[in-house]
Amino acid sequence: MIFENGGFIFLTNRKDVDTEYVTMAQGVSFVSGFVCGIILYFVAFPNPSVFFFQLETTNEDQIVRTLSENFYLDDEEEEMTHSPMINDSRFHKDNNTLGKILQESVRVHCVIFTSDYFGGSRLSTAVAKTWAKRCSSAVFIGRKTNRHFPYPMIYTNFSFYRSDHAAKSVFSVAVLETLNRYFDRNDWFLFAADNTFVIMENLRYYLSKQNASEPEYFGRISKAARGIAWPYHSGITVFSKASMKKIQHSAIISCKETVSYEFTSSLCLKQAGISDKTPSEHYGESIFNNLPLSISVKLNKPLGISMQPDSNMISVRFLQPPDMYAHEFLVYHLRAFGINKLSS
């Protein structure tokens, strides 16, 4: 009797053939065939990710960031910012006489801290194409990225959002640059995180009733919001001309009051003789640095608080690039037929 399997031949004329040798031959045949199949697979498909499955764990924040970074493609974002939805001034003939007067009389220099996370320079691009164009002068400051950024930029070694020490270092550079280049021709100096939207007309109206010769500031750049610590800084701080004279580079760096979630409190401003004049409303809300309405409602509902944002609010924080363009449209371009808004 001849038994043949996978190249192995067993000759026997006995019925009591040793089955162990047959089983061994079958096993060797299977293993050799499997190995050959794996080799052929990787030759045909050099990408091993098609074959192997890798389980990855990620938190919700990472998922949201990934979605937001890919929400708009570059060409889609560029098309949106040049669409009539954003630049629709030809459709409306607003009487902005008072706004123009304030723009000339209340000069505000804006410094925006750029980020290399959460979509890279897309936030700063959104800021440049929306509210920053209404500043008397504006400059961006941060670490250089691979994306082209065609706006006035001061490059630093660190990102403002990297750490407390990095934030102080970048802020110190911003102060020195402001004092050297923009101090003489401006009265107020706004420092903003790039995830904040500012209504410059409301800010100028508020500042028109303040005295730039007094050493004071308004607003805070922080991670804290209604008892919640967010993973990154947001908001604006506005300094008067007198307060800018008191801010010293050495004092900023050497300040020992390190509050990880409250950047403005880590500058030793009180010791420098600069007063916090940030106005507060009910439940600790202010016309400066409001939360987005959707988030504010979610926080207020469990507490039974029915709160309406101030119609003269100055800034909204913790925004993403699409939110910037949405606020630009809602504030400056949306109209309700038959209703003429009266200034308050």
Query: In residues, how long is the chain?
Result: 344
Q: Which residue has the higher pLDDT, 18 or 276?
A: 276
Structure token digits, residue 72:
């708009």
Position 162 scores a pLDDT of 87
Counts of helices then strands in the chain (DSSP H, E): 11, 13
Least confident range from 85-99, 104-118, 165-179: namely 85-99
Got the DSSP string for 84-97? TTTS-GGG-----H
- For 2, 61, 64, 224, the CA distances from 283, given in Å and listed in that order, are 94, 28, 29, 15
Instruction: Write down the pTM of the prediction.
Output: 0.72
Position 35 scores a pLDDT of 65
Q: Quote the mean pLDDT of the chain.
A: 75
Instruction: Answer whether residue 14 shows pLDDT above 50.
Output: no
| % of the chain residues with pLDDT over 70 | 63
Largest interatomic CA distance in the chain: 114
Position 81 scores a pLDDT of 44
Query: Residue 300 in contact with residue 307, Cβ under 8 Å?
Result: yes
Q: CA 269, 275, 278, 280 torsion: positive or negative? A: positive
Position 74 scores a pLDDT of 42
Instruction: For 89, list phi and psi in degrees, rounded to 5.
Output: -60, -25
CA pair distance 163, 165, nearest whole angstrom: 5
